[in-house]
Structure 1
């Protein structure tokens, strides 16, 4: 198996300066590097740089995947946009890591090679599929974090880990709208290999996503009540980055005015409960699919039998004409014509079998075989059909 690795970095809040570009260029001479983007593909060898350090110091997003299954997405947000304490509630070993560096919160979404399986190159990714997650997270939409937590559960289930861990692990706060993920969130779920049945049962306790209509008067009253230090921090954030502090302000407003859901009040589900629910849903779904597949196969068989019956009724009106058609098809010396000839011969055999035997058919088909034994492609079709030699 040939090796393949993909590396991409994006600077979203501010571009790299000339010195930073030189530092990055020193790590790779073949990469496509601009002040806002780094991308390279490796078919041999490895990237010499420290990808984590590059995101901590220079970039706001990093994507990596390899054809042996490893996948990684790292996002960097100003701590004021997403406090690490809030994100840490969703941290899961081998699925989501959270840490802070120089006033930023870093989110490390990952799947190890042991968990991910060999990469399917029919589906490839670029960071453009995921950068929308930063805006969503800054606005208080934490569905991506919950999706990452589910990815950790998916890996646990595949690894058949200690069931006591499942019983102890309790789900983090369930965001609204899990049943209707956004495009970037769906891409993340696919990228991390989240089990679809697990996501479906987790969404059962998620409030529907709603189109928000803000009340300007209520929002103004909320802003007026904020501590002066918080307002100052929002203004400083607006001055120092291209990221909008409005998203974080709206997130705080929503958190202060949202009515708690049922699980916020009565308690959350354990990993064991979710995995059991997913197993039952998966089993039921597969049984329904099996029944539906069997019904579809029966319907196809009935349709084929009805079509053959119609052909045989028409064929019985003039079998000699059918034998002439077989001769004409064979004379074309084309694969498609040979297939049509064999199909017609099958109908002729089936028609004669209805009268109690196929003696005449075997004789005439054998004569055909002898007459055209110099046509290997036709002879192969005759062999498959079981036409005897004369």
Structure 2
């Protein structure tokens, strides 16, 4: 596969001015640029601009996907919706970073998997992921914790300092990790969060009285709005009258929710090593259980075949009577299963006598004989 890079930027809180679009055009002559979006793909070369600087200056979300395994999501939020001290405990190595500008906080979430397969549709993921920005702005910290889990897995692959694993504690554990929203599930997939590690993490996640990030009901909003200072209400109404601001609703909702309670979290008390070891144990137990189930299902299947051996032989002969290679493959699969079924039920002598007759009757069909030989049906 040749080199492939996909860049997408979106402006959500305000459209780009014609001057800003012209500045972006100077960065790329091939990109598709609108008042709200910048997209480009590269099969050679690279983007001339710095995605971090571009997101700081122009955009509220950035997606980057490559065919060598990089998945990157950057988000820009107004500084009053998420503080840097709140985000910093989740930062880990180069895979989860947070910083501020004069007006915003920016998050950089990255997953690398050079050995992984290309994820079909990964370059169309931003629409599914963008909802986590509003969730973060309204106090839901689950997206940050998911990104931390992804970074922890990468950190485990890249680092071998056992002492640091045993001393590094997890960040605050948000409520509702066992019941992710659709954008959060999309984020977990995009960042390749290990499902077993997430299951272990969710064991310490508080059960919220209502879903984190959920909008207050009307009866809750009325007294909260009434309690806002008159000067602040006037300023909000003025901004609304001057023109629609897509971020104004989120900002107001955050302001109202901020008057009631902080994000619901439990203190992080488990070390990175404890989480990773528990996830390994869960994964091993799950795989062992799955293998046991498969073996039991296989045994039941063979028992049924042994009891219906004559009917199975008829199916085999029907498949072999055709000239279709796919039918021959089906016949050989049935033969292999029937051989195992007869071996388990002490009927192998009768099976091999009939198999010998079948091979003799079809000795002039080399394709079929080769199929039988590959499955050791001799």
Q: TM-score with structure 1 length normalisation?
A: 0.77
Could you tell me whether the CA contact under 8 Å between 2:65 and 2:122 is conserved in 1? Answer: no
Separation in 1 of the partners of 2:265 and 2:102?
Answer: 37
How does 1:208-287 map onto structure 2 within 5 Å? 208-209=207-208, 210=210, 214=216, 219-226=221-228, 231=233, 234=236, 238=240, 242-258=245-261, 263=266, 267-272=267-272, 275-287=273-285
Q: What residue is the counterpart of 2:172 in the other structure?
A: 173
Could you tell me whether the CA contact under 8 Å between 1:61 and 1:74 is conserved in 2? Answer: yes
Give the secondary structure class of the aligned counterpart of 1:16: coil
Quote how far apart the aligned CAs of 1:29 are.
2.4
Does residue 378 (structure 1) correspond to residue 368 (structure 2)? The answer is: yes
Q: RMSD of the alignment, in Å? A: 3.9
Q: TM-score with structure 2 length normalisation?
A: 0.79
Structure 2: segments with no counterpart, 5+ residues: none
Could you tell me whether the CA contact under 8 Å between 1:140 and 1:252 is conserved in 2? Answer: no
Quote how far apart the aligned CAs of 1:133 are.
1.8
Separation in 2 of the partners of 1:173 and 1:337?
Answer: 58
Separation in 1 of the partners of 2:352 and 2:7?
Answer: 70
Q: What residue is the counterpart of 1:368 in the other structure?
A: 361
Separation in 1 of the partners of 2:137 and 2:295?
Answer: 50
CA 1:234–1:168: 2 relative to 1, 3 Å: farther
Separation in 2 of the partners of 1:131 and 1:123?
Answer: 15
Q: What residue is the counterpart of 1:14 in the other structure?
A: 14
Deviations 1:99-157 (A, max 9, x none): 2224122121123x4x6644523341332122212222222222212222222222222
Q: What residue is the counterpart of 1:308 in the other structure?
A: 306
Separation in 2 of the partners of 1:196 and 1:341?
Answer: 38
Quote how far apart the aligned CAs of 1:333 are.
4.0
Separation in 2 of the partners of 1:87 and 1:233?
Answer: 28
**How many pairs were matched up?**
367
Quote how far apart the aligned CAs of 1:55 are.
1.2
Quote how far apart the aligned CAs of 1:346 are.
10
Quote how far apart the aligned CAs of 1:98 are.
1.7
Q: What residue is the counterpart of 1:31 in the other structure?
A: 31
Give the secondary structure class of the aligned counterpart of 2:93: coil
Does residue 74 (structure 1) correspond to residue 74 (structure 2)? The answer is: yes
Larger deviation, residues 299-308 vs 126-135? 299-308
Q: What residue is the counterpart of 1:141 in the other structure?
A: 140
Q: What residue is the counterpart of 1:319 in the other structure?
A: none
Structure 1: segments with no counterpart, 5+ residues: 316-321
Separation in 2 of the partners of 1:94 and 1:118?
Answer: 19
For the pair shown, the structure with the greater C-alpha radius of gyration is 1
Separation in 1 of the partners of 2:336 and 2:292?
Answer: 29
Separation in 1 of the partners of 2:304 and 2:72?
Answer: 54
Separation in 1 of the partners of 2:359 and 2:216?
Answer: 84
Separation in 1 of the partners of 2:191 and 2:285?
Answer: 26
Separation in 1 of the partners of 2:375 and 2:194?
Answer: 45
Give the secondary structure class of the aligned counterpart of 1:302: helix
Could you tell me whether the CA contact under 8 Å between 2:196 and 2:282 is conserved in 1? Answer: no
Separation in 2 of the partners of 1:202 and 1:214?
Answer: 27
